[in-house]
Amino acid sequence: MSLKSLSFAAVLLATLCSSPALAQMGPPQPLPAEALVDPVDPAKAAWLRAHTVIDGPVSGGLTFALPDRFYRSKLILLGESHGVAAPQILDFELLRHLNDRIGLTDYVAEVDPVQGDRLNHYLETGDAAALDRVFDHWSRAGAQWGNTAFEDKMRRIRSLNQTLPAERRIRFIGIDAIQDWPLVGEWLTSQGRDVDLSSASNADKARAALAALDGLDGPAVPRLRGVLERVAQGRDRESVIFETYAQAVRSGELGGRPAYGLWGMFHAMQGPVNGAWPFAARVRESDLPTADAVATLVVLSLDSAVQIPVPTPEGVQRMRLDKFNIDGPFVMVRGASTLRAASETGRITLFDSAAPGSPLTGADFLKVQTSVGQNFDLDPGAPRVDTPSIWGSSETPTGRRRANSGPRYRPCRRSPERAAG
């Protein structure tokens, strides 16, 4: 099955559920009735059920029956649509499983190197102020991942680490472009460096930070230097992510060890999406030793809700959306009814779509129609490759808080004092 093709269903959902612009477009209109017609394919649903590889309640307690080829992967990416709680449960339990099964310790994260450094500081020391500082930025910015489900996951990772010997403990490797410039300034100040990052230009800020970084040492410094150099050169975000990952592999910081991380769905796609090359696709097309060992897991939502940040005169508010699942009324993924038929209410279920004898074709879960934004179909110019791929559903029952609310969002905290999320 073409992993390039597999990109489209997921990236559209990530776009719809991540952008405040959605709230500024006015009330969305549902798709016409004929667009919502999506007959179940009983044979494919039965095949999917027979090839379930991860399953369990949305509250946790998942079971794993992944194929052996999955564990030979060197880069494993879980693609989510930000703002749904269940993927955070899956993320932690899969991370714990990989740590136990193959000794994986490297969490390649959608955070910048300084944020990763601060998260590692929390994991090592339990310093709640360090964790709060990272999440405060996301809370102020209205980012969907600045929620209590993510924050609680960090606490669970710390608790897990405390049960593990030092060489088996999880660490974060931040490879994203700079998300929080004030935090970079604070970190440099804590290292005894004075720096002015007040410029409106990210390139200028990067050059100033690079000058202040000269002579410093530490686990995150080489990656931070690389990120700053790329930002100073005007590199786009996806290039920064890929090149920083490549730096970590080639320098030996990652080397040939397996790495795993939860990312927005676009970044996890292994082929071009509307002419753009996501992180995973760049790795597959590279000369890195990990190029032929990339695995993507994609979670699509049924009967779930998200909250998106909406700027208002009173500050960032969040709009709860429960109509943007993959089976209408505003988004329709062809094959969603078959995926629903293969799933159970209130469970996280993932299927091995690339197992031998798969009846799935390039049309399954790939044709996406929406009344908000852009429709997506397979790009005929993309390469077709076969690679480990896991598709899944996060189906949650109407009426339960976890099903309809999405993750709760935390207030900004300006002191180490704890507050309710």
Mean pLDDT of the chain: 81
* Phi, then psi, of 183 in degrees rounded to 5: -65, -35
Whether pLDDT at 56 is above 90 = yes
Higher pLDDT, residue 2 or 180: 180
**What whole-number distance in Å separates Cα of residue 233 and Cα of residue 244?**
14
Whether pLDDT at 157 is above 80 = yes
pLDDT at 309: 65
Confidence of residue 417 (pLDDT cuts 50, 70, 90): very low
Indicate the range of 27-31, 136-140, 231-235, 383-387 predicted with least confidence.
Answer: 383-387
pLDDT at 16: 30
pLDDT at 398: 28
Question: In the chain, what percentage of residues exceed pLDDT 90?
Answer: 57
Confidence of residue 4 (pLDDT cuts 50, 70, 90): very low
Indicate the range of 93-97, 196-200, 299-303, 341-345 predicted with least confidence.
Answer: 299-303
Whether pLDDT at 337 is above 80 = yes
pLDDT at 390: 52
Indicate the range of 195-204, 218-227, 290-299 predicted with least confidence.
Answer: 290-299
SS (H, E, C) the chain: CCHHHHHHHHHHHHHHHHCHHHHHHCCCCCCCHHHHCCCCCHHHHHHHHHCEEEEEECCCCCEECCCHHHHHCCEEEEEECCCCCHHHHHHHHHHHHHHHHHCCCEEEECCCHHHHHHHHHHHHHCCHHHHHHHHHHHHHHCCCCCEHHHHHHHHHHHHHHHCCCHHHCCEEEECCCCCCHHHHHHHHHHCCCCCCCCCCCHHHHHHHHHHHHCCCCCCCHHHHHHHHHHHHCCCCHHHHHHHHHHHHHHHCCCCCCCEEEEEEHHHHCCCCECCECCHHHHHHCCCCCCCCCEEEEEEEEECCCEEEEEEECCEEEEEEECCCCCECCCEEECCHHHHHHHCCCCEEEEEECCCCCCCCCCCCCCCEEECCCCCECCCCCCCCCCCCEEEEEEECCCCCHHHHHCCCECCCCCCCCCCCC
User: Around Cβ 385, how many Cβ atoms within 10 Å?
Assistant: 18
- Reported as a single tens digit per residue, the pLDDT across 246-278 is 999 999 999 999 999 999 888 998 888 777 899
Question: In the chain, what percentage of residues exceed pLDDT 70?
Answer: 79
Site of tokens 């390649």: 108
Confidence of residue 202 (pLDDT cuts 50, 70, 90): very high
Site of tokens 């990656």: 223
pLDDT at 148: 82
Whether pLDDT at 51 is above 50 = yes
What's the rounded mean pLDDT across residues 222-227? 98
Whether pLDDT at 362 is above 60 = yes
What's the rounded mean pLDDT across residues 296-307? 82
Whether pLDDT at 380 is above 60 = no
pLDDT at 174: 98
Identity of the residue numbered 8: F
